[in-house]
Amino acid sequence: MKMGNLNSGKRIYSIRKDFFKVWSSNMAYIFGFTCADGNVYKKTLSWDLSNKSESNLELLNNFNKVLESNYPIKFKCFSHRLDIFNSVILEDIKKLGIVPNKKKVLLFPDVPERYIKDFIRGFLDGDGWITTRKRNEKYNEICVGFSNGSYNFMKGLIDVFQSRLGILQFNLRCREKKTKFGNISKTYQLEFYADNANKILLFLYRGLSKDDLFLTRKYKKYLEAQAFFDETKKIKKFGRKWIYTESSLGEIMENLLKKYVIVNKMLPKEVANEFRISLSTLYRWLDKSGVRTLEKRGSKEWSKRITFSKGLIKNVK
């Protein structure tokens, strides 16, 4: 739909006016993002994003692409802003629940099952966070968080995570802040850690295609969180020595174990010396990695294997 008058000298803007009438992955994403970080005024649908990150400008450009829009992105002192002036678009987004001053009255919408992950990904990209940090020498921590001024919206988000991901424990917190006018502003927050955070991230970001919308810097945080989570799992399962050995040799440990034990048929003691670990650690690695299933650690069979290996290495010498 074109806006403007050819004789007025004003620029004519166009947009796909039925965009919010038909559900799609990109429509659900923009809708979710708008629930978090979009606004409706009298005649305008607007997104105003900080100019501190180039990914914000990239996202607004992608909005224009999927909306088939040529509305200009305005450069403000501290932000990039995209304003859409279209009565049809405005009416449709209002029907979906995006109304002026939506913060406290926003309800979690009835999103088709097929597009729920796109909707929540849009919401997270707009008003959520993904963080990673080193807790101590043994563990890395990943966190996914969501924030909104509407309790009912956040309760709907909880319902989705319960039904779709089987997450049963939630800590919905209310943060109160006094505004400059002396009013109390309430914000509701949800945070998830470790396995639950990983479940959510995989649900929202895994398997995205080049045609899917996402905020680049959040996607990079997702990849970082995945690396953190995978490393923590390995540390818990195999120990930090496993991670150190992989890093120093530049190869996947499972592949090295298969090469030494199965292909090259090296003696266990030789393999243990190669990795500078004890025999008991080697047997634990073989067992837990699935390269070779061994008897329970500490059993008579386990002890016999270690004794037998030591005897073999003595005979070799």
Q: How does pLDDT run across 165-200, given as a tens digit for each residue?
A: 999 989 999 998 877 777 778 899 999 999 999 999
101 contacts 81 by C-beta, under 8 angstroms: no
Question: In the numeric block, which tokens belong to residue 23?
Answer: 């559900």
* Nearest one of 202, 229, 200, 248 to 135, comparing CA atoms: 229
Strand partners, 173: 189
pTM of the complete model: 0.80
Phi-psi region of 212 (alpha: psi -120 to 50; beta: other; left: phi over 0): beta
Q: How does pLDDT run across 262-300, given as a tens digit for each residue?
A: 888 888 888 888 888 888 888 888 888 878 755 455 555
CATH architecture, domain 2-234: Roll (3.10)
Domain ranges of the chain: 2-234, 240-316
- Is 3 a residue whose pLDDT tops 80? no
Rounded Cα distance between 122 and 129, Å, is: 12
Q: How does pLDDT run across 222-257, given as a tens digit for each residue?
A: 999 999 898 888 877 777 788 778 778 788 888 888
Q: How does pLDDT run across 134-158, given as a tens digit for each residue?
A: 776 666 799 999 999 999 999 999 9
Rounded Cα distance between 14 and 71, Å, is: 7
Rounded Cα distance between 192 and 173, Å, is: 12
- Average pLDDT over the chain, rounded to an integer: 86
